[in-house]
A and B are shown apart, each in its own frame.
Chain A
């Protein structure tokens, strides 16, 4: 890991197109501004990790859960009905 010090208002450049700027420091909290090209997606690390975890949990073995699917189909049908 590269460690470097920055003051408020200073930034770092990653590659030639990503800029990370320290905007504000308040106790243990840091506000950061990021300028990056549109194909670079920026997320809070823990949120990205949670989504990845949820995707893995959602992985199914397909038809082995056919009973569960049948149950869910019924529930969704009823949700739909309730709305009308």
Chain B
């Protein structure tokens, strides 16, 4: 049983993702899980299993950028222990300014990359894309 920002969850061993380096700003936190909630779908949550104050909203980046592409370096592939690219999932962190959801942005520059098979994750930093990609509203 894990206590997180979004409540208590029972998690299987294979749902626990280890970020060996933490993520920038939270380098000391190594264990996370991706929680998907019916009420917030398609927004999911990257929650720390070590600090119940830490939960980041995340979405599928292709939802906002159809042609999004990421290229992982040899080092990153190695650190993630990637054997099959199909094991990889990619998430982008969403920033939702309090009370101003219309100003929400998606961090396409630093996607959260997770190898579901090895249970290893990292936030990689890409050369291209914006740190604050606006979520465009339909007029």
Asked if A and B are interacting partners, one says yes
**Residues of chain A at the chain B interface (Cβ within 8 Å):** 38-39, 41, 43, 47-63, 65-69, 71-73, 75-83
Residue of A nearest to B66 (CB): A83
List of A residues within 8 angstroms of B63 by Cβ: 76, 79-80
One digit per residue, 1 when the CB lies within 8 angstroms of any chain A CB and 0 when it does not, for chain B 56-69 equals: 11010001101000
One digit per residue, 1 when the CB lies within 8 angstroms of any chain A CB and 0 when it does not, for chain B 1-43 equals: 0000110000000000000110111100000000000011111
CB <8 Å contact, A55 and B23: yes
List of A residues within 8 angstroms of B89 by Cβ: none
One digit per residue, 1 when the CB lies within 8 angstroms of any chain A CB and 0 when it does not, for chain B 75-98 equals: 100110000000000000111101
CA distance in complex: A76, B64 (Å):
8
**Residues of chain B at the chain A interface (Cβ within 8 Å):** 5-6, 20-21, 23-26, 39-43, 53-57, 59, 63-64, 66, 74-75, 78-79, 93-96, 98-102, 104, 107, 109-110, 123, 125, 131-132, 135-138
List of B residues within 8 angstroms of A76 by Cβ: 42-43, 59, 63-64, 135
With contacts A38-B79, A62-B5, A76-B42 taken as known, whether A55 is within 8 angstroms of B24 at the C-beta atoms is yes
Main secondary structure, interface of A, reads helix
Residue of A nearest to B58 (CB): A58
List of B residues within 8 angstroms of A58 by Cβ: 56-57, 93-96, 107
CB <8 Å contact, B54 and A68: no
Residue of B nearest to A58 (CB): B95
Question: In angstroms, how far is the closest chain A Cβ from the Cβ of B40?
Answer: 5
Residue of A nearest to B78 (CB): A38
List of A residues within 8 angstroms of B40 by Cβ: 69, 73
CB <8 Å contact, B125 and A43: yes
Question: In angstroms, how far is the closest chain B Cβ from the Cβ of A34?
Answer: 11
CB <8 Å contact, B135 and A75: yes
CA distance in complex: A18, B9 (Å):
41
Residue of B nearest to A42 (CB): B75
